[in-house]
């Protein structure tokens, strides 16, 4: 829609400029006041401002589309290996829910309370209970 408005603005400015040129050419040299040819540039300047505004608007729309392309299609998955978190980013266009893996709240063998930051991680999804030494599988949490 904005392109149409700017094109109409530019066209009216150019047409008015040509009309002013015609008018200035028909003005007698002995006419009163300043000669109209001094003011012929004004409608062309108005058309030039319209061209500038159109270019600025197009650049803004293109930049907004680029930013929205970059914003969508990224997803992050966080894993914790030996207490060192790392992030993997995919750009497939499908947004996966964010996931993390944590130790369960209690050890299934000895019943000790487990904390994901205090257990010994022995693999990407395996941990060792600090109380009894039993290894277990981490639980996936999505948010």
Give the closest residue to 104 by CA, choosing from 94, 114, 95, 96.
114
Residue 93 has pLDDT above 70, yes or no: no
Q: How many CB atoms lie within 10 A of CB 108?
A: 10
The pTM score is: 0.41
Burial class (CB in 10 A: 0-12, 13-18, 19+), 114: buried
CATH number given to 75-142 = 2.30.30
Residue (of 35, 33, 41) closest to 16 by Cα position: 41
Confidence category of residue 122, pLDDT binned at 50, 70, 90: confident
Question: What are the φ and ψ backbone dihedral angles of 6, each rounded to 5 degrees?
Answer: -65, -35
pLDDT tens figures, 18-66: 888 888 888 777 767 777 777 888 889 999 999 999 999 888 888 887 7
Q: Are 97 and 143 in contact (CB under 8 A)?
A: yes
């Amino acid at each position: 829609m904005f392109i149409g408005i700017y094109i109409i603005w530019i066209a009216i400015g150019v047409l008015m400029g040509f009309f002013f040129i015609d008018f200035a050419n028909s003005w007698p040299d002995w006419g009163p006041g300043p000669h109209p040819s001094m003011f012929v540039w004004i409608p062309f300047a108005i058309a030039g401002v319209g061209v500038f505004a159109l270019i600025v608007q197009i650049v803004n729309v293109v930049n907004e589309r680029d930013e929205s392309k970059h914003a969508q299609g990224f997803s992050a998955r966080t894993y914790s290996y030996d207490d060192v978190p790392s992030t993997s980013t995919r750009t497939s266009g499908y947004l996966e829910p964010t996931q993390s893996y944590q130790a369960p709240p209690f050890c299934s063998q000895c019943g000790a309370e487990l904390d994901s930051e205090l257990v010994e991680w022995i693999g990407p999804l395996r941990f060792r209970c600090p109380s009894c030494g039993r290894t277990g599988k981490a639980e996936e949490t999505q948010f």
